[in-house]
Structure 1
Amino acid sequence: MSSKIYDVIVVGAGLSGLQTAYNVQQAGLSCIVLEARNRVGGKTWSVPLANGKGTVDIGAAWTNDTNQSHIYALTQKFGIQLLQQNTDGNCIFQDKDGETHTFPYGTSPKFTEANVTDLERIRDMIHDLSVEYGSRTGSTEDYDQMSLEQFVIAKGGSQKTIEMIRIWSRVMLGVEATELSAQYFIEYNGKGGGLKTLRSDQKGGGQYLRFRKGTQSIALNLATLLRPKSVHLSQPVTSITDTPSLVTVTTSIGLTFKSKKIILSIPTPLYQDITFSPPLSGDKLTVTTSTTLGYYSKIILCYNSPWWTSLPSGLNCCGLVISYQTPACVLRDTSMAIDGQYSLTCFITGQPGVEWSKLPQHERRSQILSQVYRLFAATQQTTEQKDEVKELVYHPVEVFEQEWTKEEFSKGAPCPVMGPGVLSSVGSKLAEKVGNMFFVGTETSDVWAGYMEGAVRSGVRGAREVVESLGGGRSVAKL
């Protein structure tokens, strides 16, 4: 048991928690961080390849240098190198019946003209509504009582459009379009500048830049700025007792820490894993029990060369694949050519991911390899070319697999979401303090919620709130 009474305890050493702790300490207050895992970074996790050729991000992976200003400032502060996402070449689309075709990057799949027009109409409608929300100039019309899929149907979306929206819901949030509030989806996009911005790989887009040494480099660098022995790893918090003058925190190994204030920097649904005294109640309890985390997994296939950029037939693919088949709904090129690291990341999300997760590991990987082969072999003309693709696909030098839903201290990714009716009921209570407890995390951010940018911004906000509650301290440090 620690006899010291700290000014602030932060629970969670992800980006939001570390940014909070840094700003609190810069304000002259004492602060420690309790982290359940044996590492810092939360859902940023960068793993080196066994052959020494670079790293892969099995968690968050992208940023930009335009409107994600806090993350970009940190990359500049720490000298972190950023490289552009590869968009050179063709994309691949696979329909429900397995029919596969390529299409130029930046265009829509080769649906019929009517289906393309409808898809772009619905896309633009959601984008415009999200931009209006983001600029606070939108109408008072609210779509929180219907799911995202019901919204698309109500707006006359075709079956092809509905199927594409299902892919967006899965890959962006890990849930089905039937489980997600339409208004939540609109506002989620609005906080990042609109649907087109979040889906974009161009400058200012959600997938524009990647980290040469991995996104976890931000957390690792932030942790070094804290005072020595500030971060306590492998300390899952099991209980929090909040009295008017003191907060007492107990971890799973029986250690006890005391502070004047506490900041929770863990996903909202995970509050249920902590015993609170007094218990959470009212709207805060509803927020905790009504937000959910989607099923989200990555399998990263690493190769000796980026063979998809120069297929046997001569076709150049940029690595972007959209599939209506299972298990993977989207593939991306996540190579770092400068380090000789060449990889395809397969996103297995939503309900198809849940079903896939029930299989033993060897079968999960077998299904992924089989799907990747079918996707790229379908672009080839001859049996010899298809056989060559098979040889390439089935010989990765390394395979990484991360099921975030099975990770004890995440239980899903990328961030908590809200089903129909929740946002309008208690959405405003996400960041609301309770007693001496303050709450941060990417889902609480008004800007780029669900992203690293949102996490850091929430940390800045949480530090400001707790410092002010303690009488101000020194002025909170800027990035």
Structure 2
Amino acid sequence: MTTRTSRRAFLAGTAGAAAAVALPAAARAEADSAAVPSATADVAVVGAGLAGLTTARRLVAAGHSVVVLEARDRVGGRTLNHPIGDGKVAEAGGEFVGPTQDRIVALATEVGVGTFDAYDTGNNVYVNGLINLKYSDTGPLGTAPPDPLLLADIIKLSQQIDLMAANFPVATPWTAPNAARLDAETLETWVRANSVNAEGIVGLLRPFTEALVGAEPGDLSFLFVLAYVAAAGNATNPGTFERLFNVRGGAQQSRLIGGSQVVAQRVASALGDRVHLSTPVRRITQTATGVTVASDALTVDAAHVVVAIPPALAARIDYQPLLPAARDLLTQRLAMGALMKVEAVYPTPFWRAANLTGQFLTVGGPVGYSFDNSPPDGSPGVLAGFVGGAQNLKWGPKPLAERRAAVLAQFARMFGDNRYLSPTDYFEMDWTLEEWSRGGPTAIAGPGTLTGYGPALRGAVGRIHWAGTETSDYWQGYMDGAVRSGERAAAEVAAAF
């Protein structure tokens, strides 16, 4: 869950610290564990994002005792509400829900959180070099732009991807026909081999993948991309490229009233003192009869543990005995995407009066894709965008003032209105700088990862079980995937008792 830090730090500056250094390793570990309170439970859950909280909620409902250990000083994981005044919020993390995302919507309904339509009235803006178009997503291409130079390739490639993703083994993509071949190439190499205007299509894909997973087309295994598209559905509705990218009828169709983090907050409130914040887990020790989960603030003895955090963070926990090589090597290969969310607040969403949705797509940065992120009543106006992948690596290290000026200048340029240069507020969330996320919105798989190590993604290691959106069958990388993974993990653990 984090870098390995010696518990001797708790004793620094005291006479006991010098004595502890001289102790044998086993004696030091015993002394360290005695330095923090202890608890017992049927199940320990690591992480209080939607996956961990769903796991805990299901297990408590089944009659099991649960302790949830969360490193942050808040719940919600990669969902985060940002106050914008008058009790209203805009989401600085994950926020959208759409058709076939049944489990997050069901959970939200159960805790009294409703949905509202994302604003999608009017025209989108597309800028690519000399091409500057306004278009409606009610057309046959949906959110994809009707670029006359790329139109034939857009239609052809999206149809090919849908055909390849149909009847795809979403839970086990490494078993798909020709999986090894598909996993040996990237999205970029596949597109270059199957398009007429290869440079143009790869350029158009960049803002899509930068916003979607915080990475470039050349970073992504093509098998991973097919699995991601196939997962944009449910057991009765095959995933499609269009559903993954669209607002209208797609994954970005709706938002949660009160902000997405409120779902996690309400689940955590119902769990009460079972949830422990500011409690990063450092070590998990497994024996034949149980597990000991050691954190900075609490040590929990349990029959089972569910690790419900991103693979990159799960890799930072010290496991005793060591995890199987396949699981350890998998977590080393599932890097987090690089994503920053930038948002400007205005007195009103004045783009609506100009018959604009607030959505633009452009080749070049810093922002590749924007959307209207205003509250349900449209006041104030909030325009949000994504700085992902290579654009994040370029703009993230720059001073805030320089980055802010570049983002606002791009908003003004895309929509042709200098009012975008003067927001009443501006805020951003760079998820690569979040200690307990290390990136976002999800982990990505490069070539060879899924076929080489995929079976270790959700396979339990004795009494250690895995949850988190990356482990879901459907909608991995989304809030719905997080909830689904928690439900699966809870069922898996309950069956083990």
TM-score (ref. length: structure 2): 0.86
Equivalent residue letter for 1:126: I
CA-to-aligned-CA distance 1:89-120 (integer Å, 9 cap, x gap)? 1111121x4653322334453533x5211111
Pair 1:123-2:123 in alignment: no
Q: Identify if the C-alpha distance between structure 1 residues 446 and 110 changes in structure 2 by more than 3 Å, giving closer, same or farther.
A: closer
Indicate conservation of the 8 Å contact 1:98/1:325, yes or no.
no
Give how far 1:126 is off: 1.3
Equivalent residue letter for 2:262: S
CA RMSD of aligned residues (A): 1.9
Indicate conservation of the 8 Å contact 1:119/1:160, yes or no.
no
Equivalent residue letter for 1:38: D
Could you tell me how far apart the structure 1 residues matched to 2:473 and 2:137 are? 31
Corresponding residue number in structure 2 for 1:100:
132
Q: Identify if the C-alpha distance between structure 1 residues 98 and 360 changes in structure 2 by more than 3 Å, giving closer, same or farther.
A: farther
Could you tell me how far apart the structure 2 residues matched to 1:39 and 1:166 are? 33
CA-to-aligned-CA distance 1:162-192 (integer Å, 9 cap, x gap)? 2122222211111111110001001111011
Could you tell me how far apart the structure 1 residues matched to 2:465 and 2:428 are? 34
Equivalent residue letter for 1:449: Q
Give how far 1:43 is off: 0.6
SS class of match (1:111): coil
Aligned with 1:273 (options 316, 325, 328): 316
Corresponding residue number in structure 2 for 1:419:
446
Give how far 1:157 is off: 4.5
Corresponding residue number in structure 2 for 1:248:
292
Corresponding residue number in structure 1 for 2:25:
none
SS class of match (2:264): helix
Corresponding residue number in structure 1 for 2:375:
336
Q: Identify if the C-alpha distance between structure 1 residues 341 and 219 changes in structure 2 by more than 3 Å, giving closer, same or farther.
A: same
Corresponding residue number in structure 2 for 1:67:
100
Percent identical pairs in the alignment equals 31
Q: Identify if the C-alpha distance between structure 1 residues 327 and 343 changes in structure 2 by more than 3 Å, giving closer, same or farther.
A: same
Indicate conservation of the 8 Å contact 1:9/1:261, yes or no.
yes
Corresponding residue number in structure 1 for 2:16:
none
Corresponding residue number in structure 2 for 1:354:
393
Aligned with 1:43 (options 38, 54, 78): 78
Equivalent residue letter for 2:77: G
Pair 1:170-2:204 in alignment: no
Corresponding residue number in structure 2 for 1:218:
263
Could you tell me how far apart the structure 1 residues matched to 2:195 and 2:375 are? 42
Could you tell me how far apart the structure 2 residues matched to 1:454 and 1:360 are? 35
Could you tell me how far apart the structure 1 residues matched to 2:138 and 2:160 are? 19
Could you tell me how far apart the structure 2 residues matched to 1:48 and 1:287 are? 37
Corresponding residue number in structure 2 for 1:29:
64
CA-to-aligned-CA distance 1:293-351 (integer Å, 9 cap, x gap)? 1101101111111111224xxxx211110011110010011112416231111110001
Give how far 1:141 is off: 2.9
Q: Identify if the C-alpha distance between structure 1 residues 271 and 449 changes in structure 2 by more than 3 Å, giving closer, same or farther.
A: same
SS class of match (2:438): coil
Could you tell me how far apart the structure 1 residues matched to 2:125 and 2:252 are? 18
Could you tell me how far apart the structure 1 residues matched to 2:131 and 2:399 are? 28
Provide structure 1 residue ranges, at least 5 long, that are not aligned to the other structure. 378-388, 471-479
Pair 1:230-2:274 in alignment: yes
Could you tell me how far apart the structure 2 residues matched to 1:231 and 1:53 are? 25
Could you tell me how far apart the structure 2 residues matched to 1:297 and 1:106 are? 29
SS class of match (2:351): helix
Equivalent residue letter for 1:370: A
SS class of match (1:221): helix
Indicate conservation of the 8 Å contact 2:308/2:466, yes or no.
yes
Indicate conservation of the 8 Å contact 2:186/2:219, yes or no.
yes
CA-to-aligned-CA distance 1:401-429 (integer Å, 9 cap, x gap)? 10001100001111111101111111121
Give how far 1:134 is off: 5.8
Q: Identify if the C-alpha distance between structure 1 residues 334 and 157 changes in structure 2 by more than 3 Å, giving closer, same or farther.
A: farther
Corresponding residue number in structure 1 for 2:54:
19
CA-to-aligned-CA distance 1:133-161 (integer Å, 9 cap, x gap)? 16899972331110000011121342222
Could you tell me how far apart the structure 2 residues matched to 1:372 and 1:284 are? 43
Q: Identify if the C-alpha distance between structure 1 residues 157 and 449 changes in structure 2 by more than 3 Å, giving closer, same or farther.
A: farther
Indicate conservation of the 8 Å contact 2:305/2:465, yes or no.
yes
Aligned with 2:432 (options 405, 424, 428): 405
Q: Identify if the C-alpha distance between structure 1 residues 139 and 6 changes in structure 2 by more than 3 Å, giving closer, same or farther.
A: closer
Corresponding residue number in structure 2 for 1:381:
none
Provide structure 2 residue ranges, at least 5 long, that are not aligned to the other structure. 1-35, 233-238
Equivalent residue letter for 1:344: L
Give how far 1:453 is off: 0.8
Equivalent residue letter for 2:177: T
Indicate conservation of the 8 Å contact 2:432/2:440, yes or no.
yes
